[in-house]
Amino acid sequence: MTPILLNEADVRAVLPMPDLIVAMERVLAEFSAGRVAQPVRTIVEVGPDRNFFGVMPAALDDPPALGTKLVTVYHKNHDRGLPSHLATILLFDHSTGALTAVLDGRFITEARTAAVSAVSVKRLARADAATLAVIGSGVQARSHIEAIRHVRQLREIRIWSPTAKHREALARDAGATAGCRVHATETAARALHGADIVVLVTASKTPVLDPDDIAPGTHICAVGACRPDQRELPAAVVARARVFVDSRAAAAKEAGDLILAMADGVIEPNHVAGELGDVLLDRLPGRQSYEDITIFKSLGMAVEDVAAASLAVERAQARGIGRPLA
């Protein structure tokens, strides 16, 4: 069979967010059940700006999927008019190892990350959560607003990032489709005050909020800090919270929000309650009280990319989308 090529427009056409949320819910459970082969990603730092190139392979038996994502994060790309995160996903036949597809992975990375956060909101946020605070205004901020509105009936969305024109532009754009009030705030504290759900999607290497800004009962999706020397959350907030991760192995190696809190002596290594997949499998309780602060520390997993790409290829083939790789 001739391999096919799917560009970003092709992938967008076949991966609506509600379907991706369902797919991510399943794959998170499969991972925590031990039915996924996936090493912690290999990262190579590039140049004096400490950009990085990552290799993320995974294999899944049900449904059968095999592939890898090649991802780069170049911090100054925005100055060049380029996305900071770029990716390509390669899929292979599960039974023969032959190449079956090459996909642009930038949108898949964006969308599957938000879909996984939405799964965490679905299982860990309060049932009546209706106010969303988003700290950050890039592509992940946009995709998280899109994803979370599918799992909670939101009444208000507040957005803060350091650049006023960016947060205002996001509020304007998101307000056109969110179905609720969306507005930018002048400070992070104003966005966070009384919020039920908090999404952290920044490029900051230091905490972006004050511990007093997080009220009892809040659910936090901590997405932005993906290296061991980066953190978006103060250690005091991590210490107060019931913490869940996508992968224990990856979190121990890469989650600066947790690693640095341990280095500060604020939490112990056993502070993580478990993986989100364990909650989905009903092996582990999620939120235990209305007043719990819950954190989902997201790092992103290769199996999420491979499963999303496999779904995209299946649907693209059914609709005659894509080009053969001669």
Signed CA dihedral, 20, 22, 25, 27: sign only: negative
**Do 58 and 127 fall within a single domain?**
no
**Do 154 and 284 fall within a single domain?**
yes
Q: Read off φ and ψ for residue 90, nearest 5 degrees.
A: -110, 130
**Do 83 and 94 fall within a single domain?**
yes
Supply the range of the domain harboring residue 12.
4-109+303-324
**Do 100 and 188 fall within a single domain?**
no
**Do 296 and 307 fall within a single domain?**
no
Count: domains in the chain: 2
Per-residue pLDDT of the chain (326 residues; tens, 9 = 90+): 789 999 999 999 999 999 999 999 999 999 999 999 999 889 999 999 889 899 999 999 988 999 999 999 898 888 888 888 899 999 999 999 999 999 999 999 999 999 999 999 999 999 999 999 999 999 999 999 999 999 999 999 999 999 999 999 999 999 988 889 999 999 999 999 999 999 999 988 899 999 999 999 999 999 998 888 999 999 999 999 999 999 999 999 999 999 999 999 999 989 999 999 999 999 999 999 999 999 999 999 999 999 999 999 999 999 999 999 87
Q: Are 25 and 119 in contact (CB under 8 A)?
A: yes
Instruction: Please state, as a whole number, how many other Cβ atoms lie within 10 Å of the Cβ of residue 82.
Output: 11
Domain of 52, CATH number, reads: 3.30.1780.10
pTM of the predicted model as reported, rounded to 2 decimal places: 0.93
**Do 166 and 307 fall within a single domain?**
no
Q: Are 66 and 59 in contact (CB under 8 A)?
A: yes
**Do 174 and 132 fall within a single domain?**
yes
